[in-house]
Each structure stands twice: as structure tokens, then as C-alpha cells.
Chains A and B, each alone.
Chain A
Amino acid sequence: MTASNPLAAQARWRPWEPVLWLAALATPWLFKEHALIINEVAIVALFAVSLDLILGYTGIVSLGHAAFLGFGAYSAALFAKHVMPDPLVGLLVGTVAGTLLGALFSLTILRGTDLTRIMVTLGLTLILFELANKLDWLTGGADGLQGVTIGPLLGRFEFDLYGQVAAWYSLVVLLLCFVLARRLVHSPFGATLKAVRDNRLRAMAIGIPVLSRLSVVYTLAAGMAGAAGALLAQTTGFASLDVFSIERSADVVMMLVIGGVGWLYGGVAGAVVFKLLHDVVAGITPQYWNFWVGLFLVVLVLVGRERLLKPWTWFSRKGAA
């Protein structure tokens, strides 16, 4: 028909995608005893997908994405503790909080080089960490925010000890956000993001408002990370300083890289692989998990990260991937 055909073809849902999501939604029921892990995976997957929007599709290298996760988590936890315990309203509060913070912080990533962005995103996260640490009358300081009780979901489903309800809750939110992100990256808006990533100067020359695109996508991604944070706080009933740590930000970048940057399923796949690996390796050597992560990263980069999940390119000509 028209020239937009290849783009429309990319955006179409593949037959395996609904199957995959149905399978994912079935997991808490199939693996009842692992529901807590499934819940965790769903949350970090959402977090990774939100980072993919800015890192994979827009090319902003951020070492401080945990700022939004943490802010969403603390907002949701505080809201549940002091205002009302309903989880859905709390989720909304966490998302809005993340979005607002993202809109504010997006002003800081518009200028400068990769190094400047890394430093600014890292610095902002450290500031939030310090704030959460020092404002102990509000956040509980280093002990974390305790005594958060979350009401039943939709007024009906209590969060149980095995985490089945929590897992379904997180999976559904992940699915909704994923559909939204998928719609976004295949829209003309998403196409301009990729143009900005590939060549900022040329994107500007053909009339793409680069700065506003950057801040809009940063804000959206921050909102999604805020939602992930809210889920984390609600399903664990707890918010601690750990949500702001550098390791969180580094881990999520790593997940994305494992799964593949610039591909929404990459974030999900990376989160699954990372969490499972973590579970296995930490079971063997809990203390030295970081060593293996480090070794893995070094090898990954030396081999070439874009080829890791595509074994058929391993033996082909270099540059074919």
C-alpha cells in the first residue's frame, strides 16, 4: 500500500507474543512455591523495560535509573502508611511521583556528553539516597520504612504469604506497561526517538524537536520505573535504602544488556535470566556473586553484546550482526 508498510509490519503482534504472555500469567499458578520469585522477576522486568525506552531506544546512558524506582517505592509506601492502603491508588501515586521526578530530572540530561549524563544521573540518585537516609523521621533512615500494610487488591484479593496474588498483580501491571511501551516505540514518536539515538545532528536537521523528545521519553520511562517501585514496595510491604543503591542501577543496565538493548523483550528476557542466574550462583557462592557478574560483563563486552542472544551470528562474518 503505502511507504509505511514495513513499519506497520514491525508493529504487528506476532503469534507467539500472546502465547508468551498467557504462559507468563500462568506461571504463578503452575509454580505456586516460586510465586515470590516470579513477582520479583516481573517487577525488575518492568524496571528494565522502562530503562530500555531511554537507553535502548533513545541512547541516553544512565547510571541512575534507580532514582525513579526508589522514589516510586517510597511514595507508594508512605501513601499506604499515612493516607490509604488501597494498592491500585498507591500504584497510581507511585507512578505519578516517578513521572513528576522524571520531568524534573529530564532537564538535567539534555546537554553534555555521555560522561556528563552518567555523572548527573548517578549524582541525583546519590542525593536521593542521602535524603532518604537523613530524613529518618519520614523514611525510617537506614532501617527502612517499616509497618506498611497494604489493603486487598480491588477490595477483594488479600496479598497472601506465598505471593501468588502479588505475582499476578505485578505481571498484569507489567503487561499493561509493556503494551504501552510497545505501542510507543512503534509509533512515529518512537521512530523519531530512534532517529535521535542514531544521529542527533541529522535528526535535528530534519526538524525533530530533539530536546522535547528526550525529556518526554525520559519522563515516561521514569513514570514506569516509579510504577515498578510502587509494586516493589507494595508486594514486599517495605521500602529500604537499597532501592536507591548504585547496584540497583548497574544491575538493571546489566539485565538490559543481557537480553538485548533496543528490543523490549530484551528487558524481560534479561530480567528472567539475571534473576535465575542470581538465584543459582548466589546459592553456590553467596559472597562472591559479584565476581562472576563482573567476569560475565567483561567477557560479554569482549565477545560483543549484540551477538550474545543470537548464537547463529557467532560464527558468521564480523559485522554481519
Chain B
Amino acid sequence: MLTILFDGIAYGMLLFILAVGLSVTMGLMNFINLAHGAFAMLGGYLTVALMQHQGLPFLACLPIAFGVTALVGAVLERTLYRPMYKKPHLDQVLFSIGLTFMAVAATDYFMGSQQQIIQLPEWLLGRTEWFDGALGMGHYRLFIIAICAALTVGLQFVLSRTRFGSRLRASVDDPRVAASLGINVNLVFAATFAVGSGLAGLGGALGAEVLGLDPSFPLKFLVYFLIVVAVGGTSSITGPLLAALLLGIADVAGKYYIPKLGGFIVYTLMIAILIWRPHGLFSRLGGGK
């Protein structure tokens, strides 16, 4: 019971790190970016490649995964994404799903279609049991929770306490007024997009062991990212966090107790929530239209 809760939280935290960038992008520029998973996959594959071919330790790979993905995100934002902001949603969906298809096929071409395996360091492999085995905690999952919790606190701090955070929030609330107050909305957005992509890359690197890593990764987890964003709403980071935790726990518990139903519970839950509150569970807009 407790073990499931624990695994669910670890899974949810991971989903949150993966999806938080997407939530900010959608909230800030009203841009539906279905290619977000591709950034996560990039992070994961970078880690695998660096560890296998360069022999770098796992911990050293994580910041690299973050940095490189953020850089790629910034470049793509500047070149490809920016003309898309003003286009209708259908165009955005087509564009980003096209990017995803390309990423999937390119990965397949360069890395092969098999599952990639990450060799974790010794100290992350064990498992601690408490309460006579009622609560079994894998060390790696503890590690994930610790990192993700630290990141969440950090993000929350940046958003609520720093000048950049207040600029970002102003841009989310009303880009036009923010721009007229002298905030460089484009720059704020580029930076946010880069950090969001970087976080996705980091999440992909961390999650490679838990979620599995193969070329279909962006499509397989796309639905989960979108659930987090759609259910959590795009106006804060607590919304997506709670949504991610809910999703993680529901998914792990559902798969453990009623394996026959598979992803059924999660999807049903999502649809029920979205019909009930179309703007997300924790949105400030509330349930109305």
C-alpha cells in the first residue's frame, strides 16, 4: 500500500518535471506544443550516449542533459517556433506533431529501435524497507523524488521571489500589458522555453530507467504530459504538480490493483475532470466557460 503510494509519488514527480515546461509554454503563449516529449527523449538519449561511449558518470550526465536540451530548445524556439505563435491551433498541432514524427524517425535511424538501458551507479541500486516491508523504497526512486522536490522548490522560489519570476507571471497574465510596461516578453519567453525544454531533457535522463527509453517515447508519453497540463491548468506550477502527483499515483495504483484495466482509469479520470472543469482542476478561471 505505502509502497504503491511511494512509487506513485516518484512517478508523479518525474511527470511533473517532464511536463512543467509544457505547461508554462501553453500558459504563456497559448501554444500547443506536442513535440515536448521529443526534448525529453533527447535528454534521455544524450545520457545513454555519454555514459556508454564517453564513460561519463551518471551524475555528470544529468547537468549536460539539461544544458544541451535547453540550448536546443532555445535555438528551435528562435528559428522554428516563434512564427507559429500567431497561427491557429490546428497549425500548431500539425507543426509540432510533425516535429515529433521527425524526432522519432531520426532517433530510430541513429540509435536503433531497441530499448536503451542506463547503467545506474551502485549506490542507487538498493532498496530500503520500513515497517516490516510495508514501505519499500527503491533508492533510485528516492533519488528522483529528492531531485524533483528540490527542483520544484527552486522553481517556486524563482517564480514567486525573483524579478524574472514576476516578469514571467506578468507575461502569462497579459502579454500585451506586460510588453507595454517594458518587459521584453519575447526574451522572457525564449528563456522560459529553454528552461522548460532543459527540464524535460533532465526528466528524460532521470526517467529513462523508470519509464523506459525507445524512439516512440515522445508519442507514448505525450498523452501523459498533456493530461498533466490539461488537468493541472496553466496558470501556476502548483496545479501541474498536484495533477502530476494525482496522475502518477492513480496510474501506479490502477496498474497494480486492476492490471486488466490498464490505462483505462487514468483516461476516464481525465475526461471526467475535463468535462467537469474544462480549464483544469486548479485553474483560476473556474469551471465556467
Q: Interface on A for B, CB 8 Å cutoff? A: 55, 61, 63, 107-108, 111-116, 118-120, 122-124, 126-127, 130-131, 133-134, 246, 250, 253-254, 257, 261, 287-291, 293-298, 300-302, 305
Contact = CB atoms under 8 A, between A and B. Distances in A.
Interface stretch (B92-100, B122-130, B203-211, B245-253): B92-100
B84 A294 contact: no
B275 A120 contact: yes
Interface string B48-73: 00000000000000000000000000
Contacts of B84: 301
Contacts of B103: 294
A119 B100 contact: no
B102 A119 contact: no
A302 B267 contact: no
B270 A297 contact: no
B286 interface: no
B181 interface: no
Contacts of A301: 84, 87, 91, 94-95, 98
Contact of A298 (B80, B262, B268, B278): B80
A119 B105 contact: no
Contacts, number: 130
A295 B95 CA distance: 9
B163 to A, nearest CB: 30
Contact of A123 (B32, B93, B270): B270
Contacts of A246: 219
A257 B98 contact: no
B83 interface: yes
Given A127-B268, A297-B94, 9 more contacts: A108-B275, A116-B278, A126-B267, A130-B263, A287-B105, A288-B105, A290-B101, A290-B102, A297-B95
Interface in B141-183: none
Grouping DSSP codes into helix (H, G, I), strand (E, B) and loop, the A interface class, with mixed when no group exceeds half, is helix
Nearest to A292: B105
B277 to A, nearest CB: 9
Please classify how large the interface on chain B is, using the bins under 10, 10 to 19, 20 to 34, 35 or more.
35 or more
B90 interface: yes
A184 B279 CA distance: 33
Contacts of A300: 94, 98
Contacts of B101: 290-291, 293-294, 297
Interface stretch (B1-9, B191-199, B223-231): B223-231
A113 B279 contact: yes
Interface of B: 26, 32, 80, 83-84, 87, 89-91, 93-95, 97-106, 108-109, 219, 223, 226-227, 229-230, 260-264, 267-268, 270-271, 274-275, 278-279, 289
Nearest to A305: B91
Contacts of B91: 301, 305
Given A288-B109, A290-B105, A294-B102, A111 B270 contact: no
Contacts of B274: 108, 112, 116, 119-120, 123
Contacts of A295: 98, 102
A222 to B, nearest CB: 17
A134 B103 CA distance: 31
A123 B91 CA distance: 21
Contacts of B279: 112-113, 116
B108 A287 contact: yes
A134 B97 contact: no
Contact of B94 (A120, A257, A289): A257
Count chain A CB atoms within 10 A of each CB in B32, B91, B103 and give the residue with the most.
B91
A287 B103 CA distance: 13
Contacts of B102: 290-291, 294-295, 298
21 contacts: A61-B93, A113-B279, A115-B32, A119-B270, A120-B271, A120-B274, A122-B226, A124-B271, A133-B262, A246-B219, A287-B105, A288-B105, A288-B108, A291-B106, A291-B109, A294-B98, A294-B100, A294-B105, A297-B97, A300-B98, A301-B95
A134 B90 contact: no
Nearest to B219: A246
A298 B98 contact: yes
A156 B227 CA distance: 51
B26 A302 contact: no
Contacts of B106: 291
B32 A253 contact: no
Nearest to B259: A134
Contacts of A293: 98, 101
Nearest to A257: B94
B11 to A, nearest CB: 18
Contacts of B275: 107-108, 111, 120
B105 A291 contact: yes
